[in-house]
Amino acid sequence: MDVLIGQLATGLSLGSILLLAALGLSLTFGQMGVINMAHGEFIMAGCYTAYVVQQIISSAGASLLISLVVGFVVGGAMGALLEVTLIRRMYDRPLDTLLVTFGVGLVLQQVARDIFGAPAVNVVAPTWLSGGVDILGAVVPKTRIFILVLAVVCVAALATVLKVSPMGRRIRAVVQNRDLAETSGISSRKTDITTFFIGSGLAAVAGVALTLIGSTSPTIGQSYLIDAFLVVVVGGLGQIKGTVIAAFALGFLNSFIEYSTTASLAKVIVFVIIVIFLQVRPQGLFTVRTRSLV
């Protein structure tokens, strides 16, 4: 019983980590269609932001909360810069974007290595997040509960912004029909920058949270990039709810398969299941329906 609860909690936690890592990507890839291979490096930027903030503010609790805000701005600024300088010039060439952003990712990794060194650095978790909570015999680390809460808050905030704010309406309008949005007087260029800022900022927020459970090294982003893409692809492009459902589905699937097999085999089985799923539903779980004729 406590094993079942433990694995349910693990699945929920893994799902929330996947969701945080993929949420930003669901905006930039899912909504704008940009394949940003440097997304992982924005996650890494968040990790190092947490590290730097902690060097300045020694209180681990305060620095974590401040890093979440600072990380969002740092990641967002990096994303906006990338959009303005490179991605904007190749919106109609997805494969070129893929290669260019992959290169940018490698450059960013090396920059991190030159500034902070190749060995991992440690971000100290606040004492109120150390240890675990006993839930019906299974111990769930508090850090993972924090990440789950953070993921829920981020999704809620993003959904609210997209739904009710004028900026969110502009983003949705451009996603659904760029030409019509432009003819209605919406600057699609400004909207693109905003979307990219939010998407990249969310990646960095994920990075700040990940310092609680893993290592902060220049390659950390790479280990989450593929999973993030899978979540968005399985969830379907253009909708946040697809990403949310896909993240938790993959989280539970992975944790239960891993428990009955091994970590390596679980990855293989999950990938096979995804391949089969995409054969049946190539468009993913959800798609945006429009009246567009083409």
Partner 1 sequence: MRLPRRSSFKRSALAAGSVVAATSLLLSGCGSKATESDSANAASCTDTSGPTIKVGALNSLSGTMAISEVTVRHAIDLAVEQINGAGGVLGKQIQLVGEDGASEPTVFAEKAQKLISSDCVAAVFGGWTSSSRKAMLPVFESSNALLYYPVQYEGLESSKNIFYTGATTNQQIVPALDYLKEKGIKSLYLVGSDYVFPQTANRIIKAYAAANGIEIKGEDYTPLGSTDFSTIVNKVRGSGAGAVFNTLNGDSNVAFFKEYTNAGLTPQKMPVVSVSIAEEEVGGIGAKNIEGQLTAWNYYQTVDNPVNKAFVKAYKDKFGADKPTSDPMEAAYVSVYLWKNTVEKAKSFDVKAIQDNAGGVRGPGHHQRRKSPHHQDRPHRRDPPRRADLHDLAVARTDPARPLPEDVPVGCGPLQLRWMS
Write out the binding residues for partner 1, residues 111-130 only, by CB under 8 A.
Answer: 113, 117-122, 124-125, 130
Whole-number minimum distance, CB 4 to partner 1, in Å? 11
Give the closest residue to 287 by CA, choosing from 250, 249, 232, 230.
232
* Ranges within 250-269 binding partner 1 (CB under 8 A): 255, 258-259, 262-264, 267
* Ranges within 184-213 binding partner 1 (CB under 8 A): 210, 212-213
User: Token pair 């810069």 is at which residue?
Assistant: 81
Give the closest residue to 74 by CA, choosing from 56, 48, 100.
48
Q: Which of 233, 244, 245, 249 binds partner 1 (CB under 8 A)?
A: 233
* Ranges within 78-97 binding partner 1 (CB under 8 A): 91-92, 94-95
Q: Return the ∠ at Cα 228 (arms to 25 and 187), rounded to 5°.
A: 10
Residue 109 binds partner 1, judged by CB under 8 A: yes
How far is the CA of 131 from the CAs of 12, 62, 127, 212, in angstroms? Answer: 18, 18, 8, 12
* Ranges within 1-30 binding partner 1 (CB under 8 A): 2-3, 6-7, 9-10, 13-14, 17, 29
Q: Which window, 135-143, 155-163, 196-204, 240-248, contacts partner 1 (CB under 8 A)?
A: 135-143
Q: Which two tokens stand for residue 293?
A: 């004729």
Report CA dihedral (155, 292, 175, 182) to the nearest 10 degrees.
Answer: -150
User: Of the two residues 77 and 91, which places its CB atom closer to partner 1 in the complex?
Assistant: 91
Cβ(45)–Cβ(75) below 8 Å: yes
Q: Which window, 68-76, 79-87, 151-159, 223-231, contacts partner 1 (CB under 8 A)?
A: 223-231
